[in-house]
């Protein structure tokens, strides 16, 4: 057994045993910012055309009217709100990983939190568009913002939609700040290696970071304060989004369980999305040494845990519908399982309840391809969860004669697909512009360099 192996075994506690020197970290991570491969360009091309589709479809809808969607009476909310909630949910785990795990000093966050935070910011940017896409008169949407005006008209602070405006904008502000602040030392590292126009760009956005003690001191303080500020937001934003539903009287929406249920679901879907994004990123940029099975194992456990909460929430909802004795409530949940949208509900239950059971197995948690597939399932399942909540509750409401069926239109589908491309577009740009792994923090957890043995040195 050679010394090197010994050393590695001794460092078994660290999440990335194959990373040895600080220089290695800089080299490997910053390589991602260099000339990309064809794969990246291909993905960017796909994403960019999707963005064109996205705005094209939106423009078409603005030109023709919201009628180009499949929405109707009684189903006034459909794919747009489903996708809104989906992306807000995705936006969760970034801040969770970066802020909450930071506060808890979790040992495995360093390699993934940058990507997760970027995901958060872009997911909020995506989610925030959907309320705008879905309103009938976009040009008046600013009325939801309280601003002094000569008509003395304020928004209705009783309306959960107004709360949404606050929740989403606050969350976006804080998570974007947090993301940017945390990246400043790494941007400086990139600046030091970059040349030409890129260098100029990094010079501006690294805010003159030189790595002095004083800067590190302030940075550390600011970071922990922001982490503390962001932590309650992780819980609040999706609680507020859930109140869009819970505060109404719609059977299937009106439920006190919604806030914790939505938060758990959000973390669940968010972590799954992190896995979905990190797996290809790791492959494309050769970051295998930084994103090891330990990271994936930890994320898989988080998925498993939140999937159990979500499954519990599903069971609770069905149980309470039955237990309440309210026929209308019972009918709503019966309809959810066996009504017109049974396929959506069963997709949801399968993807979010059954498939994650596999994560109990260590071998599966350690198999990256298996995790990737499971994560995709979870992403699909969580989209359908919101679809089930939004659509099945509305289409069979109180008034039987007004029951109806909703069929998403091509425009809605184009905007749904386009939203993934819009998100992916920003994420792809991110991987090329900001070091996708936190260099500075990673270095903190590397064992300090020691003198090498003479034999090795020579």
Partner 1 sequence: MAENKNMRDGMKRRDFLKVLGVSGAGATLTGCSTEKVERLLPYVVGPDDITPGVSTWYTTVCGGCSAQCGMWVRTREGRAIKVEGNPNHPVSEGGLCAKGHATLQHLYHPDRFSGPMIREGGELQQVTWEEAESLLAARLGSTARAMLISGRMGPSLDALVDEFVEAIGGVRVGYDAVSDAPLAEAVRIAYGTAGLPRYDLENARYLLSFGNDFIETGSSPVAHNKGLARMSSVDAVGSKGRFVYLGPRLSLTGLNADEWIPIRPGSEAPVALAMAAVIAGDDSAAAGPYSNVLQAYTPQAAAQVSGVTEDAIFELAESFAAEAPSLALGPGVGAHHRGATAANIAVMILNHVAGNVGRTVFYDAAVNAATSSYADMEAAISAMGSGQVEVVMIHGANPAYSMPPQSGFTEAFAQVPFKVSFASAEDETSEMADLILPDRHFLEAWGDSSPLAGVTSIQQPVMQPVPHFDEIGELISDAMGSKQTGDVLLAVANRLSGEAVGATFYEYLRGRHQSTYDEVDGDFEDAWRQLLRIGVADTRREGSDALELQPPDVALSFDVPTLDAPGDLTLLVYPSPRFGAGEFSNSPWLQELPDPVSKIVWHSWLEMNPDTAETRGISEGDIVTVRSPHGSLEVPVWLYPGIREDVVALAMGGGHTAMGRYADGKGVNALTLIPSASEQPSGVLVTTATSVTVTATGEHRRLASIEGSSDQHDRLIAPAVALADLGRAGGDVHEEDTHGELKELQGVGGFVPVPAEEGAPTAFPLEGSRHGIYADAHEGPRWAMAIDLDKCTGCSACVTACQAENNVPWVGEAQILMGRDMNWVRIERFYEQVDATQAGDLDVRFLPMICQHCGNAPCETVCPVFATYHTPEGLNAQVYNRCVGTRYCANNCPYKVRVFNWYRYTDEIPEPLNWQWNPDVTVRDNGVMEKCSFCVQRIREVENRAALEGGREVRDHEVVPACEQSCPAEAIVFGNIRDPSTRVSQISSSERTYRVLEDLNTQPAVNYLKKVTFHEVAAGVHE
Residue 384 CB, nearest distance to partner 1 (Å)?
A: 19
Nearer to partner 1, 66 or 316 (CB): 66
Q: Give every CB contact of residue 229 below 8 A, 6+ residues apart in sequence.
A: 174
Start-to-end CA distance of the chain, whole Å, equals: 20
Nearer to partner 1, 161 or 235 (CB): 161
Closest C-alpha among 139, 205, 215, 145 to residue 176: 205
Q: Which residues of 147-182 are buried (b: 16+ CB within 10 A; e: fewer)?
A: eeeeeeeeeeeeebebbbbbbbeebbebbbebbeeb
199-205, Cβ contacts within 8 angstroms, sequence gap of 24 or more? 201/433
Residue 162 CB, nearest distance to partner 1 (Å)?
A: 5
Taking a C-beta distance cutoff of 8 angstroms, is the pair 334, 278 a contact? no
Nearer to partner 1, 26 or 61 (CB): 61
Phi-psi region of 37 (alpha: psi -120 to 50; beta: other; left: phi over 0): beta
Q: Give every CB contact of residue 423 below 8 A, 6+ residues apart in sequence.
A: 87, 122, 123, 125, 126
Nearer to partner 1, 173 or 324 (CB): 324
Residue 324 CB, nearest distance to partner 1 (Å)?
A: 9
Residue 64 CB, nearest distance to partner 1 (Å)?
A: 7
Length of the chain: 458
CA dihedral of residues 19, 24, 25, 30 (deg, nearest 10):
-140
Residue 394 CB, nearest distance to partner 1 (Å)?
A: 6
Q: Which residues make up the interface to partner 1 (CB under 8 A)?
A: 64-67, 69-77, 131, 134-137, 140-141, 143-144, 153, 155-156, 158-162, 165, 244, 247-250, 325, 327-328, 331, 394, 397-407
Nearer to partner 1, 58 or 179 (CB): 58
Bond into 391 cis (ω within 30): no
Nearer to partner 1, 75 or 274 (CB): 75
Helix H, strand E, coil C: the string for 396-435 is CCCCHHHCCCCCCCHHHHHHHHHHHHHHHHHHHHHHHHCC
Taking a C-beta distance cutoff of 8 angstroms, is the pair 8, 17 a contact? yes
Residue 80 CB, nearest distance to partner 1 (Å)?
A: 10
Query: Which strand (E) or helix (H) includes residue 293?
Result: helix 293-324
Residue 240 CB, nearest distance to partner 1 (Å)?
A: 13
Nearer to partner 1, 134 or 191 (CB): 134
Nearer to partner 1, 117 or 329 (CB): 329
Residue 70 CB, nearest distance to partner 1 (Å)?
A: 7
Nearer to partner 1, 49 or 72 (CB): 72
Residue 330 CB, nearest distance to partner 1 (Å)?
A: 10
Interatomic CA distance for residues 340 and 272, integer angstroms: 28
């Amino acid at each position: 057994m050679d010394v090197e192996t010994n050393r590695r075994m001794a460092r078994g506690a660290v999440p990335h045993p194959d990373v040895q020197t600080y220089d290695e970290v800089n080299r490997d991570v910053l390589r991602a910012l260099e000339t990309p491969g064809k794969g990246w360009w291909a993905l960017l091309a796909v994403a960019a055309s999707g963005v064109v589709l996205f705005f094209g479809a939106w423009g078409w809808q603005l030109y023709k009217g919201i009628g180009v969607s499949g929405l109707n009476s009684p189903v006034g909310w459909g794919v747009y709100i489903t996708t809104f909630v989906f992306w807000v949910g995705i936006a969760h785990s970034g801040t969770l990983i970066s802020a909450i795990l930071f506060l808890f000093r979790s040992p495995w966050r360093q390699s993934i939190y940058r990507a997760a935070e970027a995901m958060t910011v872009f997911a909020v940017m995506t989610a925030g568009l959907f309320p705008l896409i879905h309103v009938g008169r976009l040009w008046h949407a600013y009325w939801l913002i309280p601003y002094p005006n000569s008509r003395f008209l304020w928004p209705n602070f009783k309306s959960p939609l107004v709360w949404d405006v606050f929740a989403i904008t606050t969350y976006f502000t804080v998570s974007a700040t947090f993301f940017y602040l945390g990246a400043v030392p790494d941007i400086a590292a990139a600046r030091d290696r970059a040349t030409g126009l890129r260098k100029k760009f990094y010079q501006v956005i690294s805010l003159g970071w030189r790595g002095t003690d004083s800067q590190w001191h302030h940075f550390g303080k600011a970071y922990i304060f922001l982490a503390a500020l962001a932590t309650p937001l992780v819980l609040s934003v999706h609680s507020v989004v859930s109140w869009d539903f819970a505060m109404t009287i719609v059977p299937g929406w009106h439920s006190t369980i919604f806030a914790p249920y939505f938060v758990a679901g959000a973390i669940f879907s968010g972590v799954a999305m992190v896995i979905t994004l990190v797996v290809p990123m790791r492959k494309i940029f050769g970051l295998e040494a930084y994103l090891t099975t330990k990271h994936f194992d930890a994320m898989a456990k988080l998925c498993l845990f939140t999937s159990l909460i979500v499954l519990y929430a599903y069971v609770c909802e069905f149980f309470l519908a039955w237990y309440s004795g309210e026929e209308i409530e019972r009918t709503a949940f019966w309809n959810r399982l066996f009504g017109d949208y049974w396929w959506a509900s069963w997709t949801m239950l399968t993807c979010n309840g059954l498939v994650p059971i596999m994560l109990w197995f260590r071998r599966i948690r350690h198999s990256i391809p298996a995790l990737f597939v499971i994560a995709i399932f979870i992403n699909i399942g969580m989209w359908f969860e919101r679809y089930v909540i939004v659509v099945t509750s509305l289409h069979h409401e109180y008034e039987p004669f007004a029951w109806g069926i909703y069929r998403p239109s091509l425009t809605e589908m184009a905007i749904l697909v386009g939203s993934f491309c819009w998100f992916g577009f920003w994420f792809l740009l991110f991987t090329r512009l900001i070091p996708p792994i936190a260099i500075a923090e990673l270095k903190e957890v590397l064992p300090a360099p020691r003198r090498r043995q003479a034999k090795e040195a020579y």
